[in-house]
Amino acid sequence: MSLLIKGGILMIPIGICSVISLAIIVERLVQIARVRRENETFLKGIRGRIRKGNLREAVEICKEYPQAPLAQIFLEALIHIELGEQRTQRAITEAGEREATRLERNIGALATIVGGAPLLGFLGTVIGMIAAFQRIEALGGNVDASVLAGGIWQALLTTAAGLTVAVPTFFAHNYIVSRVHSEIQVMEDHSRELMILLTTGEDRIRAAAP
C-alpha cells in the first residue's frame, strides 16, 4: 500500500484498469466455457430429430437452449427453411454474426487496457520525474545521490504498475480471442452441415469435439 501511495494519483486509474481487466477475463472465460457446454448438449439432443425430418420438434428443442448460440442459429435456419435456400442461408449468416458479437463482447476493452495501462504508467513517471527535478532546482542543486535516486524510483513505480497490469492482460486477451475464434469456427462448421442436411437430406451433423 505504501508503494501505491508513493506512486501518485495515476496509480488509481491503473488500479481500476486491473480490476476491470480481471473481471472481464473471468467473465469471458466462464462465458466461453458455458457456451461450449451448451452447444455440445444441444447437438446431442438435436441430431436425431432433424435426421428423421421432425423439424417442428427440432424447433422446440432449439427454443429449450436460449443460451446456446448454435441453437439460435439452427432455430433461424429451421424457421426460414420454407422460404428457400438463399433466405435460409442468409438467416444462418445473420444469426451467426449476432452470436459471434456476443462471444466477442468486452474483448475490445481488454485491448484498450493493454495499450492504456502502460501509457498511464509512463505519464505517471514523467510527472514524477518533473517533480523530482523541481525539488532539485529548489535546493539549488545541493542534493546527494540518494535523494535523486529516491525521487527517480518513486517516479518509476507507475511504469512498473502499468506494465504489471498490461502484460498479463495482453496474454489473456490473445488466449480469449483464440478461444472465441475456435468456437465461432465450430459454429460455422455445424451451420454448413445443417444447411447440407436441410437442402440435400445428407446428415453430416456430428457431436462437438471434446
| Residue ranges per structural domain of the chain | 2-114+166-200
Of 205, 162, 203, 199, nearest to 187 (Cα)? 205
CA distance 126 to 152: 10
Residue with cell 481487466: 21
Question: What pTM does this model have?
Answer: 0.79
Query: What would the 3-class secondary structure string for the chain be?
Result: CHHHHHHCCCHHHHHHHHHHHHHHHHHHHHHHHHHHHHHHHHHHHHHHHHHCCCHHHHHHHHHCCCCCHHHHHHHHHHHHHHHCHHHHHHHHHHHHHHHHHHHCCCHHHHHHHHHHHHHHHHHHHHHHHHHHHHHHHHCCCCCCHHHHHHHHHHHHHHHHHHHHHHHHHHHHHHHHHHHHHHHHHHHHHHHHHHHHHHHHCCCCCCCCCC
Q: What pLDDT, on the 0 to 100 scale, is given for residue 143? A: 64
**92 near 98, Cβ under 8 Å?**
no
Q: What pLDDT, on the 0 to 100 scale, is given for residue 178? A: 93
The tens-digit pLDDT sequence of the chain (210 residues) is: 666 666 678 888 999 999 999 999 999 999 999 999 988 888 887 776 666 566 788 888 888 888 888 888 888 888 887 777 788 888 888 888 888 888 888 899 999 999 999 999 988 888 888 877 777 777 666 666 666 666 677 778 888 999 999 999 999 999 999 999 988 888 888 888 877 777 665 555 555 544
Q: What pLDDT, on the 0 to 100 scale, is given for residue 180? A: 92
Q: What pLDDT, on the 0 to 100 scale, is given for residue 151? A: 67
Over residues 126-169, the pLDDT tens digits come to: 888 887 777 777 766 666 666 666 667 777 888 899 999 999 99
Q: What pLDDT, on the 0 to 100 scale, is given for residue 52? A: 56
- Written as one letter, the residue type at 19 is V
